[in-house]
Amino acid sequence: MAASYDAVVFDNDGVLTTPTDRDVLLEAIHDAFESVGVSNPSDEEIRTLLGPDRSSLRRVADHHGIDAAALWRARERAAIDAQRAEIEAGRKRVYEDVTALESLPVPTGIVSNNQHETIENILDNCALEPIEVWYGREPTIEGIARKKPTPYYLELAIEDLGARNPLYVGDSRVDVVAADAAGIDAAFVRRDHRLEYDLTDHEPRYEIDSLEALPELV
């Protein structure tokens, strides 16, 4: 039996919009290295900056004798600009079932590990129902530490929505763990890119294959 929820908060990539192509992000990271004077980053270093923790970022920066914060700012700016181009070209787009948000009788929000500016670009360019609150990560080293599975941004969104019993909708283990850490239920969307995805030890309250299932759950 579904619980009674007073808000729904969504992850973005893989839930509301298609994931950004990995090669686009890798190329952006290579450009970021060049912008701070590193013309020959290794493939491993480029992959590391896809999703580093603070220690791995500093390790890469120290290897090249550059400031970690400056490298990360360049990385984030390159990723924001590359994703904006993907959005404007229609290659990064909303899923058709986002129309289900129109039937939700409660406030909605977004909490994403993508950059806050990228979420703003999506809201500016894509057809989504009005979203009351949204949080992406800050383009800073502190933002790395605050991304999911840490519930930092999720808890901020819940507070802003004034929700006491929200539902968090995601497509990854970190989404389920962040919801658990915030003390709320999670719904996992098993889209095509997650057909073989293993949720062992991270069981959500619900597993759905489309956002069209949400109005009934709420």
For residue 1, name the pLDDT band (cuts at 50, 70, 90). Answer: very low
Pairing, β 133-137 against β 185-189? unpaired
Residues 51 and 107 in one domain: no
**Taking residues 17-45, what's their average pLDDT?**
97
Query: Which CATH number do you get for residue 48?
Result: 1.10.150
Residues 119 and 133 in one domain: yes
Residue finishing a domain among 44, 67, 88 = 88
Instruction: Express as a percent the part of the chain with pLDDT over 70.
Output: 99
Q: What is the pLDDT of residue 110?
A: 98
What does the mean pLDDT of the chain come to?
96
Q: Say which residues have a Cβ less than 8 Å from residue 209's Cβ, sequence separation at least 6.
A: 189, 190, 191
Q: What pLDDT, in 10s, does the model give residues 82-134?
A: 999 999 999 999 999 999 999 999 999 999 999 999 999 999 999 888 899 99
Residues 177 and 195 in one domain: yes
Residues 103 and 174 in one domain: yes
Burial bucket for residue 40 (CB in 10 Å: 0-12, 13-18, 19+) = exposed
Residues 82 and 178 in one domain: no
- Does residue 2 have a pLDDT over 60? no
**Taking residues 192-206, what's their average pLDDT?**
92
Residue from 44, 1, 3, 16 nearest 136 by CA: 16
The domain total for the chain is 2
Residue from 132, 80, 134 nearest 106 by CA: 132
For residue 201, name the pLDDT band (cuts at 50, 70, 90). Answer: confident
| Residue 95 to residue 161: CA distance in whole angstroms | 24
Please indicate, yes or no, if residue 55 is contained in any of the structural domains.
yes
| Residue 91 to residue 83: CA distance in whole angstroms | 9
Question: What residue numbers bound the domain in which 41 lies?
Answer: 22-88
Residue finishing a domain among 70, 88, 106 = 88
Residues 76 and 48 in one domain: yes
**Taking residues 161-168, what's their average pLDDT?**
98
Residue from 175, 183, 187, 180 nearest 218 by CA: 187
Residues 66 and 33 in one domain: yes
Please indicate, yes or no, if residue 188 is contained in any of the structural domains.
yes
Residue finishing a domain among 88, 116, 142 = 88
